Structure 1
Amino acid sequence: MIAISVNSSMANGLVSPNDMKRGSLLLKTTEDGKMVEAIQLATNVEIDINGPIARTKVTQRFRNPSNGWVEGTYVFPLPETSAVDTLKMQIGDRFIEGVIKPKEEARKIYDDAKREGKKASLVEQLRPNLFTNSVANIGPQEIVVVQIEYQETVRQSNGLFSLRFPMVAAPRYNPKPRIVESVNFENDEQWGTVKDPVPDREEITSPVLNPEKQAKSNPVSLNVNLASGFPIGEIKSPFHNIVTDYKSKDQVKVSLSDQVVPADRDFELNWKAEPKQSPRVALFKETIGQDDYFLAFVTPPKLAQLAQDEIPTPNREVIFVIDNSGSMAGPSMRQAKESLLLALAKLQNQDRFNVIRFDDTYEVLFPSALEANTGNLDIAKRFVSSLEADGGTEMLPALEAALGDQTPHDKSTLRQIIFLTDGAIGNEKQMFDTIVKKRGRSRIFTVGIGSAPNSHFMNRASSYGKGTFTHIGSEQQVRSRMNELFTKLETPVLTDLKADWPTRNQPEENNVEMSPSQLPDLYSGEPVVILAKTKTATQPTKETLDISGQFANQPWTIKLPLKSAQQGTGIGKLWGRRKITEIEGQYFQADNWDVLDQDILNTAMKYGLISKMTSLVAVDITPTRPADKDYSSQKIALNLPAGWDFEKVFGPDYASEPEPQKEASVSPLYSLAASDAPLESPTFAKAKSIPLPATATTAELKMILGILLLLATVLFMLVSRKMLTNGHRP
């Protein structure tokens, strides 16, 4: 899984283990006994939160510890809703500002600079939450600093405000390409086409360090400057130890207690307002040229404020889908099983349910959804308790089975699909396409399990499935997060949402674009989050934004005075990011993909954002690598996410030698000290999909036994015949 092209004639960059005087990650080359030191990476994160808007600076320091010239490529995650708009590259005392370009043009600029010996950086989007940063021509013993900036909104649910910073891109299971054969009977021609569910499998696959054989790498320091806009009552980080320095009641600086941590799990920060101080409404505005951009947060009243008899309890058909693939081994599997057992215990007698489990196969517990009586629940609980994590992550067949609705026209029952997984797949588009086209009356609720879930898949799947996303990162969170989810499952409270915007008096200039264009139903504790672009109204028809809907079967309306909106920065870019997301959602409902690609390109260029059609590129105009010096290209190795089992993910035979490659290939070794023998690690010479763990069968043994029995029978017959010939009974 590590793709490194090394020119073996580059003698200045090659070393042997005995040459090393410090701990270092060494990469094997095609020259016997010679290796090259891997690029070292350190990251600093600075997050500024102002009300519901967060601005993050990610500074990556690429250090070349070797004596050769190198190019480094780092695959890293960012929040799936982030609007990435800034790239800066520092070389010594000089700063080079990156520019947004169409993706192919940016790649050409970077490749030309790399070939000409110029330092360059290229940031590309592989998924909305997965990016690569490539840095060319890092000289011997040199450090190149690259800084990326992005904007996002704070998440809010049930009065809890939270922000996640993903630190590690988890390995993803990539289903194998399928060959589709076609036959023309008229001329007896036959041909085949390859249909790949993950066409960019090479790009999204990175080398991963084995924690049992290699020390963790990629250290991260992180600071958060939180200005909440209201008195803070409680602040926590569930996965890291933190230090808080209160500047005032609504301002606090948060730092990591350990100052530096390995990048092996997501960072999450949660905060609450003091009792009765939590804001229910927030409205921000940014004016750019002739356009106003609005960001509105509105939280409906809590259910506790209503009489319980006003909230109808609908009959439900609940389909639970649980991931028991190899990436779920360890704490993740325990969290998923505990979560599902809690969910089963919450079912009511009038509910119907079923359970589906999947790895590289799938299994449906009952032929159809059954009543949630004691007997059926006991069978389900035993089934769930017996699950073990192993194998690949073939998620699509399990999803299709869950969407198989035997009573699609039943309007009296809520059909809900609860999907418990870490989402470690590369074929997200295939999953989204299936959800959009086959969802029917079902609603999909994703539960992200583990230290580094694929939040892009989780959020989009629940959005297309008209449900919600819940993340459980530790066993301590299972009960509280699942109870929150149960409340949402049982009481969808805000429906038929509409937003009425003020307009200009001239009808032809009535131009209001809102995202989401159709407001979804909301569940208990969820805010309405609206981004909108409007023409600056000098003579508006009215002064308020009116949001209305049905709340617990009663009409509900709230009016927001637009003149009271607070000034915000970056809202225009957040609007651009949201608009791109909505365009991407149209790929599964239309055939005009070229038009949609152009819409994304135009939007990304207008707002200066990275997207699937655009990249950020920065080039130093001064060549630094001498023309006679060659270079190597390395993918920087990632840590295995905390709690993952390396062998369960990559298989017990993953350390075997690779097939011969046309290009020189390398595999990582970790040298503990100059006198220590290097420890072998899995070979990552060729980027490929995560292999399924080899599953032994008894077929070969049975064949051998069969042959032995056959030989024994023949031998017995020969001996018997000889004895009869000599007049003896056998």
Structure 2
Amino acid sequence: MSTQIELIDQAEVTARPTDDDGLGCLRTKHGNLPLESIDVRTRITGLASHTELTQGFHNTHDEPLEATYVFPLPPRAAVTAMRMAADGRVVDGVLKERGEARATYDKAVQEGRRASIAEEERPGVFTMRVGNILPGERVTVHLTLAGALSYEDGEATYRFPLVVAPKYIPGRPVAGDQVGDGTALDTDEVPDASRISPPVLLPGFPNPVDLSVEVHVDAAGLPLAGVRSSLHATATEDAADGLRVRLNPGERADRDFLLRLRVGDEAAVSTALAVLPDEDEQGGTFALTVLPPTGEAPEHGRDVVLVLDRSGSMGGWKMVAARRAAARIVDTLGGDDRFAVLAFDYQVDTPPGLPDQLAEATDRNRFRAVEFLANLDARGGTEMLTPLRRAADLLHGTAARERVLVLVTDGQIGNEDQILYELAPKLSGVRVHTVGIDRAVNEGFLQRLAGTRGRCELVESEDRLDEAMHNIHRRIGNPLVTDLLVTQDGLAVDTATVAPTPIPDVFPGAPVVVMGRYSGPPHGAVTVAGQPNLRTTLTATRSDNPALAALWARANIRDLEDKYVTGQTALEGRIVETSLKFGVLSRFTAFVAVDQRVVNEGGATRRVTQPVDLPSGWEVPDPGNAPTMAARAAGMPTFGAAARFAAAESTGGAPAGGYGMQGGLDTSHSAPAGDVYAGPPPGVPMRGGLPAPAPGVPGRPPAASPRKRGRPAPAPDDGTSLAAFVREELTRLRGGDGQDVWLRAGLMTALSERIRVLLATWQQNNEPLEARTTLGTLSTELAAPTADPAEVDRRWQKALSTLESLAGDGNTRSRRTFWKR
């Protein structure tokens, strides 16, 4: 029997365009897009999941192709295998240290062999490169994942992300070659920005990828009371195979796929200890589940700082949901609590009438905060570090009270490691709760920031908000059990391997799962104790989940990676050792598959970076609308004009036009100083074949070694060359001397935006690095907000003098030398 599954949110599903003629219909003079299919096959048994992801690539060019695809995976899943298939040949991937894997891949591609490599850039963000795909050939790459469903409030959730959302990239561009093929420039704060910034398809383009998802659900004794999906799907009952859920044809890969399984009897999930012995039965892996005890947590005064993201990427339904969520959080505060509200984009705003310090949670103060929140709109860049620093300072020195930080955001930033590094010592002892609002949320970052003492709640639609806020209300209170401790009582537990660490506190409705390794025979028990009055002894039973060891390895590696970015760089060896021993991908290892047959003599390839959909619900603002024009007239940052995205596609060149993509990557806005197109083509200093740590971020995990790009013939002087651009902008600025000061400010803002967008296309021309560096610096200065007429005039004169300097001030020889004409 087949039944339609209830949608989590009917309004969030984008209809398939009527002009979609099917696979391969998106044709340009450069050919079709290389990625033609994504197939997800998952088997859920109880609360464990096994997923096979297949990515299909098709070369429609008349020359060999190297395709790069930046894609997401569940951040807590373990990638345990890879294989590549083409031309009737199947090659299994080998897990190697990341630098060694890259060298293996690059050498194979240069020698003309078919090869692929899978690398982890962030928790949940991965890069797949496939080299030497012959003309007309199809290559498939299969990844195997082991995961576990989250279980809270009687509902198990399977989440599979399908698109990497644009991320805000702070910092100043660094000199040198980019380390990846993305559209963002590497900066001193995000030295691998070009590896996490795939080009984005403009809205309205036909669906370029054939997406199929099929999930087999074996409840394994759990009584299912309902199934919900975030995408249109059909469920089929099969007595022999349980429940089968299939995604309906035509859906786009523009949001997370969620499957929520309501469990009819919450007692079906119980406190238990499961063990999976190694082959020799002399050691193995254990998983301990601790259910919340009955009763209520003791109430006492809290200090709560609410940090709300109002940046451009939060536009539309997300801003509405974020305002409602924040207001609900303020309403949960009691008379014994103190609080502060910080709303941020490129600056931090607070409710008028409230003190700069923590305020008493009186009715009057809470009303002022809610009134302030109700009037917030999305704008500007996601400068998240400053408000989080301020929140940590507000909570500093209040150790006698429960200290809570609540962050409401989509999490779409590129400098996650920098934030974790700087905030780790400041937030020691602070309970951090994160509320992620997006249909393609940055779950990995939000979970890492919440750590083990707080909770991460994800909201994928406005309809989901009320349900999520009920959970948040329970989580933001005091935990039921703290200071959990696991000790051996017959089972020889290795306490140094326990993950996550520290062990999470226990909140209402949210079981805690702890994994680790033990030595000796798989017999005995463990004792679990916690404050205020939890103590129980559990006897081990054999697990039927063969992926338990991989799941522990992934959790242990995640803990080690998070410690690594806070400065404990000596942990790199342990991360690599654990990754290779248990066959689980990490940020220091990579899967590489090489077909030893030479298929492309000479190894010359066309490089193409696969564009992705703009996430569902994201807005592309109209650069000509009134609010944007008013902001420009005031010299403020705006959510700027849409421009052409460039796919990194050439025989060794940088971004070239095509595919109707949008430029600047962070399509939600043109941010202030430090946005994605604020400087010259970048790269990072190298150390041992890998990028050196970013300033202020010691021990950052490796990004990628630079890939040298050749330069094609000079582009024609068609208005996008440096020479033509400087002449045009000089004419505009020289003609503006008599303009009102704010009209001049608006003209300078527009100039800044044009520079940011065009810097990417200039990488393919013979434009000198020095000139692009100068313009990048000018763009950053022009974009910085100011309300001082004298400062506007200073910047106006600076812009004129800079452009006149680039033009050689009329000297033909100087111009020719400078522009390499």
- What TM-score, normalized by structure 1, do the two folds share? 0.80
How many Å apart are 1:536 and its aligned residue? 2.5
Q: Which residue of 1 aligns with 2:475?
A: 488
2: CA distance between counterparts of 1:504 and 1:379?
56
2:102 to 102, 107, 120: 107
Q: Which residue of 2 aligns with 1:315?
A: 301
Aligned-pair identity (%): 28
Superposition RMSD in Å: 3.3
Q: Which residue of 2 aligns with 1:642?
A: 616
1: CA distance between counterparts of 2:404 and 2:22?
59
- What TM-score, normalized by structure 2, do the two folds share? 0.72
**Which region of structure 1 is more displaced relative to structure 2, 423-432 or 603-612?**
603-612
User: Residue type matched to 1:247 in 2?
Assistant: D
Contact 2:346 2:672 in 1 (8 A): no
2: CA distance between counterparts of 1:461 and 1:293?
27
User: Residue type matched to 1:604 in 2?
Assistant: S
Q: Which residue of 2 aligns with 1:692?
A: 670
Q: Which residue of 1 aligns with 2:816?
A: none
1:558 to 536, 543, 547: 536
Distance 1:668 1:26, change over 3 A: farther
Q: Deviations over 1:235-266 (max 9, x none)?
A: 3334212222233599321112x134211000
Distance 1:503 1:164, change over 3 A: same
Distance 1:512 1:688, change over 3 A: closer
**Which region of structure 1 is more displaced relative to structure 2, 73-82 or 371-380?**
371-380
2:202 to 202, 206, 210: 210
Q: Which residue of 2 aligns with 1:201?
A: 193
Distance 1:327 1:195, change over 3 A: closer
Distance 1:537 1:251, change over 3 A: same
How many Å apart are 1:603 and its aligned residue? 1.1
In the alignment, does 2:264 pair up with 1:264?
Answer: no
1: CA distance between counterparts of 2:174 and 2:534?
54
The structure where strand makes up a greater share of residues is 1
* SS class of match (2:612): coil
Contact 2:640 2:670 in 1 (8 A): no
Q: Which residue of 1 aligns with 2:466?
A: 479
Q: How does 1:500-649 map to 2 (within 5 A)?
A: 500-503=487-490, 513-537=497-521, 543-550=524-531, 553=532, 555-562=533-540, 564-587=541-564, 590-591=567-568, 593=569, 595-627=570-602, 630-647=604-621
**Which region of structure 1 is more displaced relative to structure 2, 171-180 or 79-88?**
171-180
Distance 1:110 1:641, change over 3 A: same
Structure number with greater CO (CA < 8 Å, separation at least 6) is 1
Contact 1:45 1:56 in 2 (8 A): yes
In the alignment, does 2:278 pair up with 1:294?
Answer: no
How many Å apart are 1:134 and its aligned residue? 0.6
* SS class of match (2:43): strand
Contact 1:653 1:694 in 2 (8 A): no
2: CA distance between counterparts of 1:102 and 1:407?
41
Contact 2:292 2:506 in 1 (8 A): no
Q: Deviations over 1:215-249 (max 9, x none)?
A: 34333211111122224332333421222223359
1:126 to 110, 116, 121: 121
How many Å apart are 1:512 and its aligned residue? 6.8
Distance 1:589 1:145, change over 3 A: closer
Contact 1:231 1:250 in 2 (8 A): no
Distance 1:493 1:201, change over 3 A: same
User: Number of residue pairs matched?
Assistant: 634
Distance 1:525 1:511, change over 3 A: closer
Contact 2:339 2:358 in 1 (8 A): yes
How many Å apart are 1:652 and its aligned residue? 3.1
Q: How does 1:177-196 map to 2 (within 5 A)?
A: 177=172, 196=188
Q: Deviations over 1:83-126 (max 9, x none)?
A: 11111111133211110011111111111111121111100111
2: CA distance between counterparts of 1:524 and 1:461?
20
Contact 1:667 1:682 in 2 (8 A): no
2: CA distance between counterparts of 1:668 and 1:527?
50
How many Å apart are 1:532 and its aligned residue? 1.3
Q: Which residue of 1 aligns with 2:730?
A: none
Q: Which residue of 1 aligns with 2:135?
A: 140
Q: Deviations over 1:498-549 (max 9, x none)?
A: 11223579xxx978732234423211112121111111237x6xx2222122
How many Å apart are 1:585 and its aligned residue? 2.7
1: CA distance between counterparts of 2:24 and 2:284?
55
2: CA distance between counterparts of 1:631 and 1:117?
9
In the alignment, does 2:284 pair up with 1:281?
Answer: no
Q: Which residue of 2 aligns with 1:156?
A: 151
Distance 1:409 1:38, change over 3 A: closer
1: CA distance between counterparts of 2:622 and 2:121?
26
**Which region of structure 1 is more displaced relative to structure 2, 645-654 or 470-479?**
645-654
Q: Which residue of 1 aligns with 2:812?
A: none
2:316 to 324, 330, 335: 330
In structure 2, list runs of 5 or more residues that go unmatched. Answer: 1-20, 176-185, 624-637, 674-738, 747-788, 791-821
* SS class of match (2:450): helix
2: CA distance between counterparts of 1:446 and 1:703?
38
In structure 1, list runs of 5 or more residues that go unmatched. Answer: 1-19, 28-33, 181-193, 671-679, 708-730
1:166 to 161, 166, 174: 161
User: Residue type matched to 1:233 in 2?
Assistant: L
Larger C-alpha radius of gyration, 1 or 2? Answer: 1
